[in-house]
Copies of this chain bind each other. A is one copy, B any other.
Amino acid sequence: MINSLCIIGVGLIGGSLARALRATGYCKEVVGGGRDPQHLQQAVDLGVIDRFDTDLAAAVAGADMVLVAVPLGAMQTVFEKIRDHLEDNAVLTDAGSAKGSVIEAAQRVFGSVPAWFVPGHPIAGTENSGVSASLPDLYHDRRVILTPMENTDVSAVSRVRRMWEAAGAKVTEMDSIHHDAVLAATSHLPHVLAFTLVNSLGRTGDREELFAYAAGGFRDFTRIASSDPVMWRDICLANGDAILLRIDQFIEDLQALRRSVQEEDGERLLDLFESAKQVRDAFIEK
């Protein structure tokens, strides 16, 4: 159980956790922190949080659990603002899509990574953003990855784990570097490709006509290109090395397929498409 949960950044991710935990009664109070009072008032009006404070020092006062759910580029500033105001018994966690950069930001602000800081990442979301898009069941049966350090307090990890489990999530732990490599492959690369595809088509003169003849496959394929640009800029800056590796591997594979098209190598093309279908169908069965 959480007494007072402070969520800094009440958007899709933070708002959905607040909704889930309020619905189950897992926390007595949810306090929102952030920059925009109108946005936070909307979160109160929607019943997502109990109250808010735009002064983050005041927002974390009394909180035994603090979740920072802001874009990666804003993590360090938030850590700086709350550093001297966290309660003695407070556990700090975050929801960043890359973990190495958040750990580095914590190290810079706190001197060393505090034992009561548990880096975390809920693998959930939609292409929509903002508190109005938040859903109480967003985390139901979804994965949350925690990336504790060697010195992280075991009971702090346990408290964060139980919070996400109370929201319906399946929690696993892994090394932060491994997390960043896995997510570069399964999330960051696909987003980069979707953004690039839309731009690539968008910059042709006949854009309107192109989109008029796009079918459902195109809509699904490009859904993630409607995701929040600031969030994705920050992810590309925070996890650049892992993303570059995946982009390079993808270009290599695309060049190989390109050669098969150019050489009209039907056998090779069939092989490629069959293996992709097999892998993808197997993924969906799970």
Q: Which residues of A contact B (CB under 8 A)?
A: 73, 123-127, 142-143, 145, 182-183, 185-187, 189-204, 206-207, 209-230, 232-234, 236-237, 240, 243-244, 246-251, 253-255, 257-258, 260-262, 264, 266, 269-270, 272-277, 279-284, 286
Contact = CB atoms under 8 A, between A and B. Distances in A.
Contacts of A277: 195, 225-229
Contacts of A193: 193, 197, 221, 254
Copies in the complex: 2
Given A196-B257, A196-B276, A222-B283, 16 more contacts: A124-B215, A125-B217, A193-B197, A195-B272, A196-B253, A198-B283, A202-B276, A212-B286, A219-B284, A227-B273, A227-B277, A236-B261, A240-B261, A240-B264, A243-B261, A244-B261
A216 B283 CA distance: 12
Contacts of A269: 232-233, 236-237
A262 B236 CA distance: 9
Given A204-B185, A214-B187, A254-B196, A266 B237 contact: yes
Interface centre among A194, A212, A213 (most CB of B within 10 A): A213
Given A209-B182, A244-B262, A254-B247, A187 B217 contact: yes
B229 A270 contact: yes
B195 A257 contact: yes
Contacts of A283: 198, 211, 214, 219, 222
B125 A202 contact: no
A253 B247 CA distance: 12
Nearest to A201: B185
Given A125-B215, A213-B123, A190 B197 contact: yes
Contacts of A262: 240, 244
16 contacts: A124-B215, A125-B215, A142-B215, A145-B213, A186-B210, A195-B272, A196-B257, A198-B280, A211-B283, A225-B276, A227-B273, A228-B277, A233-B266, A233-B273, A234-B266, A244-B258
